[in-house]
Amino acid sequence: MEQHWDFFKKSETSMGVFYPLHYIVAGYGSLDDAQGAEAAFRESGVDAEDVRAAPGGFVAAQLESRTDRNVVNKLENELVKIFGTEKGYTTEDKQHAADGGAFLFVYAPQDEDAANAKAVFAQHPPVFARRYLRIAIEQIVRNPKAM
């Protein structure tokens, strides 16, 4: 049975690929580090329901359950491979989880939210961070292991 994410305010997929619109996805070396950043975001004024740390294994399982579910998803995934970067990020995220990393998700629909995130990240640096916008993915902190 497929688990669903209850955290995201909207669908977290686009064309069958993980795409959490208006969220920042940050990777941390450990769940403790991600939880420390989560606490820092709450202290900075972010509502508790708008920030969440998650273990890498959980995130990897969610990413696996979202891809290649049917023929349409397979076709969409192939289009994304050709025209977009989302599939590449999904691959990086799976590798980060396999390396024992954890994740932090922050709802950031406004530029002010992203500015606050950058300030928190300065105190709690992630391995990588990216913000999913309607027509682009903004890299806040580049993954040093990115392909």
Domain ranges in the chain are 19-141
Show Cβ contacts of residue 38 under 8 Å, excluding neighbours closer than 6 positions.
51, 52, 53, 104
pLDDT in tens, 16-28: 456 788 999 999 9
- Please state, for a pLDDT cut of 90, what percent of the chain lies above it: 46
pLDDT score, position 134: 84
pLDDT digits (tens, 9 = 90+) for 109-127: 999 999 999 999 999 999 9
Do 24 and 115 form a contact (C-beta atoms < 8 A)? no
Query: What stretches in the chain show pLDDT beneath 70?
Result: 1-18, 63-88, 145-147
Q: Which of 74, 77, 38, 72 is nearest to 55 (CA)?
A: 38
Q: Of the candidates 127, 134, 137, 135, which has an alpha carbon nearest to the alpha carbon of residue 104?
A: 127
Q: Please check whether residue 27 is in contact with residue 103, taking contact to mean a CB–CB distance below 8 angstroms.
A: yes
pLDDT at 40: 98
Nearest-5° angle of CA 128, CA 129, CA 131? Answer: 155
Write down the pLDDT at residue 81: 40
Q: Which two tokens stand for residue 77?
A: 């995934």
Exposure class string for 81-102: b at 16+ Cβ within 10 A, else e: eeeeebbebbebbbbbbeeebb
